[in-house]
């Protein structure tokens, strides 16, 4: 029986902000499985800021997303057919199936598909708090910031899938956690649900001096560690409050994802405060993923790690949901529900 598969392809490269015209929806037929392959029906698709960089054809840390090919993306779902003894029909799995309803995975190649236990951790969380975003938060905090009890750790995009986890892990290690987010509602979630000590609504501050003053008030002992997802004026404000030997984990620069310049106002502070500023790509640290996932999974299962999800319905909604993510319309992890 022929099984139709709705897929989103990258039709063109954005010249600035992405638009729905950069994507094309097509229908293909799922082919028969070969030995060593499994067929996965995707339940959720993950949408993440890194996808914007991959849509460009310039130099990046990874190869550009090819034109006229299925958009890349993490997925969780269920095995519905199998030609491999290690995977059975009904297994719940996490992989990188992309913007489509089904994917065929050659599981003879290690690392392409991983079984997960959806009885203790909700399946969707394997794309967020117990997935790549959670591991990103864990690595940047524990391996670069290396927080010590009593220190102050700040996080930009604190209501997002990565930022929310950073602050909670910092609190669990005895730190003061201060978030920066866009909007009063988001800041309320960061403090009341995620347990941060404070959260600054950067949209409420019309100039850099006002933002710096708010950050100084929230961090009376200065800033010892910072997790950066945004760049621009947010990073400038943090650097003004950084203590000597502060550590900054550079995870994202979403302020410049559409080609906008993001100059640093006072780079001399890196020298005068003897800061460590380190960028990282989480896919380059696979040996530490099991350690990170073990802690994250246990915390989510026990209810001590909170998270939020924004869920768009149906494969057809993916482009608009992705564009909304880049504009900050989501709260927590942005997902598309496919089944």
DSSP-derived secondary structure for 267-290: THHHHHTT-EEEE--GGG-GGGHH
Q: Is the pLDDT of residue 58 over 80?
A: no
The answer to whether residue 1 scores a pLDDT higher than 70 is no
The CA–CA distances, whole Å, from 215 to 29, 65, 202, 232 equal: 54, 38, 10, 15
Give the DSSP letter of residue 121. S
Who's near 237: CB < 8 A, 6+ residues apart?
208, 211, 212, 215
Average of per-residue pLDDT across 68-77: 98
The mean pLDDT of 182-186, rounded to a whole number, is 96
Q: What is the pLDDT of residues 89-126, one digit of tens each?
A: 999 999 999 999 999 999 988 888 999 999 999 999 99
Give me the pLDDT at residue 201, please.
Answer: 97
Output the six-digit token pair for 142.
Answer: 């524990």
In this prediction the pTM is 0.94
Answer yes or no: CATH 3.30.70.260 is held by domain 4-128+307-337: no
Phi-psi category of residue 333: left, alpha or beta, with phi > 0 → left and psi -120 to 50 → alpha: beta
**Could you say which DSSP state residue 142 is in?**
I
Q: Range(s) for CATH 3.90.180.10 in the chain?
A: 4-128+307-337
pLDDT tens digits along 297-324: 999 999 999 999 999 999 999 999 999 9
Average of pLDDT values for 16-37?
96
- Give the E-state strand segments of 229-338 in sequence order: 242-250, 276-279, 309-313, 333-337
Q: How far apart are CA 46 and CA 311, in angstroms?
A: 10
The pLDDT value given to residue 289: 96
Q: Is pLDDT at 262 greater than 90 in this prediction?
A: no
What's the CATH number for 132-283?
3.40.50.720
Least confident span in 54-68, 249-263, 296-310, 319-333? 249-263
All CATH 3.40.50.720 domain ranges of the chain, comma separated, are 132-283
């Amino acid at each position: 029986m022929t099984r139709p598969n709705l897929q989103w392809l990258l039709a063109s490269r954005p010249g600035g902000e992405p638009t729905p015209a950069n994507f094309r929806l097509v229908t293909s037929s799922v082919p028969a499985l070969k030995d060593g392959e499994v067929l996965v029906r995707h339940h959720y698709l993950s949408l993440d800021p890194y996808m914007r960089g991959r849509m460009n054809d310039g130099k990046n840390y990874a190869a550009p997303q090819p034109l006229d090919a299925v958009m890349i993306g993490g997925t969780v779902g269920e095995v519905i057919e199998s030609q491999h003894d290690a995977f059975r029909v009904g297994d719940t799995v996490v992989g990188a199936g992309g913007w489509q309803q089904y994917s065929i995975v050659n599981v003879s190649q290690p690392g392409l598909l991983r079984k997960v236990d959806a009885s203790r951790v909700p399946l969707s969380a394997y794309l967020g708090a117990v997935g790549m975003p959670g591991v990103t938060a864990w690595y940047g905090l524990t391996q670069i910031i290396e927080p010590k009890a009593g220190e102050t750790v700040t996080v930009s995009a604190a209501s997002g899938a990565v930022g929310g986890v950073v602050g909670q892990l910092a609190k669990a290690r005895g730190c003061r956690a201060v978030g920066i987010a866009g909007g009063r509602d988001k800041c309320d979630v960061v403090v009341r649900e995620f347990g941060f000590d404070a959260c600054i609504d950067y949209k409420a501050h019309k100039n850099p001096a006002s933002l710096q003053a708010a950050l100084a008030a929230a961090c009376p002992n200065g800033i010892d560690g910072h997790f950066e997802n945004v760049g621009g004026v947010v990073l400038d404000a943090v650097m003004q409050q950084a203590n000597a030997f502060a550590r900054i984990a550079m995870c994202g620069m979403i302020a410049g994802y559409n080609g906008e310049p993001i100059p640093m106002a006072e780079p001399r502070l890196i020298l005068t405060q003897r800061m460590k500023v380190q960028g990282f790509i989480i896919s380059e640290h696979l040996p530490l993923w099991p350690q990170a996932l073990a802690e994250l999974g246990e915390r989510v299962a026990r209810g001590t790690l909170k998270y939020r999800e924004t869920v768009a319905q149906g494969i057809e909604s993916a482009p608009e949901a992705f564009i909304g993510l880049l504009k900050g319309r989501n709260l927590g992890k942005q997902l598309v529900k496919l089944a």
